[in-house]
Amino acid sequence: MWTANSRQVYANPWMTVREDEIRRADGSDGIYGVVDKPDYALIIPLERNADGAAGRREGLWLVEQYRYPLGMRRWEFPQGTAPGLAAAEPTGLAERELREETGLRAERMTELGMLDVAAGMSSQRGRAFLATELTHGAHERELEEQDMRAALFDRAEVESMIAGGEMTDAQSIAAYTLLLLHERGRPRTNDS
């Protein structure tokens, strides 16, 4: 398959949409509408109570925000892209998004794997990270994120939210699966 013609049909500060005329291997023509967005980072912040500190429990940090296309608030792991459609180094982007959305800083950031958002209509890809050895600070949210809130949930709560449809973000659910595989010692393959 090859692209015969491509034209941008829409653009804003977060994405572009293009229409590609393609020619298939059998010689037939076709068309694709593609949403282009920069790659993102998704972070699973894991709070551990290794030192037995009173008042701090173990669990996973989630953020809740209003998702305009769905018209509802949703819980998910912190995630995002660099501003202005810019490309960013994945680990640095993960650190920035974690700090921005939750105020957390991670001493360790472990890459869990690659995720494709919606390969049938978007070129966007993301990398999932496990953030550990957390320290707490003030969040640095963007204007669009001012109604966001962060909360700590134990794993049983997260799994209940997934099973009950309270947490439906596909990237968050897929990243949680990558976390489970990582914890089981399953080696990951590099996919860039």
Pick the CATH number of 40-185 from 3.90.79.10, 3.40.30.10, 3.40.50.11540, 3.40.50.300: 3.90.79.10
Please give the Cα distance from 37 to 85 (Å, whole number): 7
In terms of Cα–Cα distance, which of 60, 34, 36, 63 is closest to 47?
60
- Please give the backbone phi and psi of residue 93, each rounded to the nearest 5 degrees, phi first: -65, -45
Could you report the per-residue pLDDT of 108-122, keeping only the tens digit for each? 999 999 999 899 999
Which residue numbers in the chain have pLDDT < 70? 50-56, 143, 187-192
Q: Please provide the distance, in angstroms rounded to a whole number, between the alpha carbons at the two ends of the chain.
A: 21
- What are 79's strand-pairing partners? 42
The model's pTM is: 0.88
Q: How many CB atoms lie within 10 A of CB 149?
A: 14
The full set of domain ranges for the chain reads: 2-36, 40-185
Residue type, 190: N
Question: What pLDDT, in 10s, does the model give residues 57-93?
Answer: 799 999 999 999 999 999 999 999 988 877 889 999 9
